[in-house]
Structure 1
């Protein structure tokens, strides 16, 4: 990788991180949820009643991070957790009515402007961008 490629890549990644941070702050002030909280709420909505491990896998977050986010969401009445009747070691999470209302009225985690601009791209271009960003994430992941 050349010095120019490194600089251009880092600059683009910083712009993405900054935009994500700004969007998370806007979500928090307008809707009471941060970006990570909205990701978890949307994942619970998609998966219905779900374990923390399944939620962490789905959202690509660590179980510890998911538990911290769920603690906060539970305190605010957005989700509720309960133990399995069959196996008390298993804890499920589901949305409360407040959580379902949030899902119905909360905008895209990326913001409406981005969602509209992204949707205006061709399906092939959207898939190409998603694939490229996923590949970058893989390249940047710590090796196991």
Structure 2
């Protein structure tokens, strides 16, 4: 027997997925980047002496995911990597001029829209949304998945 609540929840989840897919397509058309690539590029451009570990920590992505994304951004000449002068073991990353231009071209991502709307909710409602979303991820078997599900280290078709 199907539950009305379960069906309503699945419909809401499908709406969220459609919004995410639409945002991903708009981003790809405008910039040629995936949402994960744009997030990493923004983190790199946001500071000085940015390391892969710092970006992984801030975005809660695995180091392997950051490495794959940064490799792609370097190949696209959007990010440069250099060794630290003080500690040769540290790899420092910086957005190139082309990378900064790409950031300016990027439409408002779904994440920015979400963060703005989420921030004005009362704390109890934020906590409820977090708890429900985490539980939903567990129900779908995505509890331990990386925070970068839309990672696409390859080319994006802009057409």
Q: TM-score, normalization: structure 1? A: 0.74
| Cα-Cα RMSD | 3.1
Q: Does 1:66 align with 2:62?
A: no
Unaligned runs of 5+ in 1: none
Partner of residue 57, structure 1: 57
User: Deviations 1:33-77 (Å, cap 9, x if unpaired)?
Assistant: 111111111121223431111101111211111111111111111
Change (3 A) 1:124 1:51: same
Gaps in structure 2 of 5+ consecutive residues: 145-159
Higher RCO (C-alpha 8 Å, min separation 6): 2
* Count of matched residue positions in the alignment of Structure 1 and Structure 2: 138
Write the mapping of 1:1-144 to structure 2, written as runs, cut at 5 A: 3-110=3-110, 115=113, 124-125=120-121, 131-139=127-135, 140=137, 142=143
More helix as a share of residues: 1
Q: Contact 1:118–1:126 at 8 Å: present in 2 too?
A: no
TM-score, normalised with respect to structure 2: 0.68
